[in-house]
């Protein structure tokens, strides 16, 4: 497992990513690639190169990465990099079946479900509040949300969107992780082996890039929607979604 550099970036496309203040898109440039809105510099700074002064714009904007996503990525990194424990004879049968780093995959799937929650909450912000809460309550599983809810909201299949965004490989990868993770929690301990853990880490930047592309395709045009980093506003939506339905 040491072939993957310990110094690799776990932030992936989040590094330098901010929201466009006009259309809500996620972007890493000073001009929005979706609506063309140009950021206003907060101030100008002067630098001297080869004796000549140059004035450069300086921008101060909150990064899009939420504390929750940041924490999950940090936990994945720590789990991946920690030394493996020596295998004791009494645990050998278990060690042969299941990767010692199984938590990497579990944490990854938690991160993915969390990110999809952010995507759907942003998209549902356009609808009357009660409609959004009811739709999330009716479609609580990630499988139902990615299939029926996605198709209902966007009149498109998520696979077709990922294909169009040139992230077909990510769709197949997510299907594989979801299937193996389900096998694992239903009693098949060796469903998450070292190969799957490695693949999860290797494809993490691609999954995050695909999510950003999907977000920009389906979640722009509504500046009033919660920002991705606003965990508290998303949390309010979740708490209302968890209220019991009236009899």
* Site residues, Zn ion (CB under 5 A): 20, 22-23, 25, 32, 34-35, 37
CA angle 218/219/221 to nearest 5° reads: 110
In the complex, least distance from residue 126 CB atom to Zn ion, rounded to whole angstroms: 16
3-state SS, residue 149: helix
Considering the complex, what minimum distance in angstroms separates the CB of residue 36 from Zn ion? 7
Residue among 99 and 122 whose Cβ is closer to Zn ion: 122
**212, two tokens:** 């950003």
Nearest distance from C-beta of residue 70 to Zn ion, angstroms? 24
Specify which residues 63 forms β-bridges with.
Answer: none
When the beta carbons of 41 and 205 are compared against Zn ion, the nearer one is 41
Shortest distance (Å) from residue 58 CB to Zn ion: 20
**Nearest distance in Å: CB 3, Zn ion:** 39
Nearer to Zn ion, 61 or 241 (CB): 61
| Cβ nearer to Zn ion, comparing 18 with 192 | 18
Neighbouring C-beta atoms of residue 23, cutoff 10 Å: 18
Quick one: 32 or 146, whose CB is closer to Zn ion? 32
Given a contact cutoff of 8 angstroms between Cβ atoms, the answer to whether 139 and 149 are in contact is yes
Q: Residue 223 in contact with residue 22, Cβ under 8 Å? A: yes
The distance from CA 224 to its chain's CA centroid, rounded to whole angstroms, is 21
Instruction: State which residue, 37 or 70, has the beta carbon closest to Zn ion.
Output: 37
Q: Provide, rounded to whole angstroms, the least separation between the CB of residue 27 and Zn ion.
A: 7
> HEC states along 83-133?
CCCCCCHHHHHHHHHCCCCHHHHHHHHHHHHHHHHHHHHHHHCCCCHHHHH
Please name which of 61, 57, 56, 59 lies closest in space to residue 17, comparing C-alpha atoms.
61
């Amino acid at each position: 497992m040491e072939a993957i550099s310990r110094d690799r970036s776990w932030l992936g496309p989040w590094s330098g990513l901010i929201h466009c203040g006009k259309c809500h898109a996620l972007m890493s440039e000073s001009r929005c690639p979706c609506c063309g809105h140009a950021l206003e510099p907060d101030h100008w700074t002067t630098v001297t190169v080869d004796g000549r002064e140059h004035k450069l714009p300086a921008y101060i904007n909150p990064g899009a990465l939420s504390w929750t996503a940041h924490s999950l990525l940090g936990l994945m990194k720590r789990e991946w990099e920690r030394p493996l424990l020596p295998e004791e004879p009494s645990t050998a049968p278990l060690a042969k079946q299941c990767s010692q780093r199984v938590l990497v995959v579990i944490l990854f799937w938690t991160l993915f479900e969390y990110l999809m929650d952010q995507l759907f909450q942003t998209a549902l912000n356009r609808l009357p509040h009660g409609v959004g809460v009811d739709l999330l309550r009716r479609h609580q599983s990630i499988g139902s949300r990615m299939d029926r809810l996605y198709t209902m909201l966007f009149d498109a299949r998520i696979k077709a969107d990922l294909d169009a965004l040139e992230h077909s490989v990510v769709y197949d990868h997510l299907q594989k992780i979801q299937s193996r993770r389900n096998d694992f929690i239903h009693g098949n301990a060796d469903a998450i082996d070292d190969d799957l853990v490695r693949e999860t880490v290797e494809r993490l930047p691609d999954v995050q890039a695909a999510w950003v592309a999907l977000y920009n395709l389906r979640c722009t045009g509504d500046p009033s929607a919660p920002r991705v980093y606003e965990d508290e506003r998303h949390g309010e939506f979740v708490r209302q979604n968890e209220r019991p339905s009236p009899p």
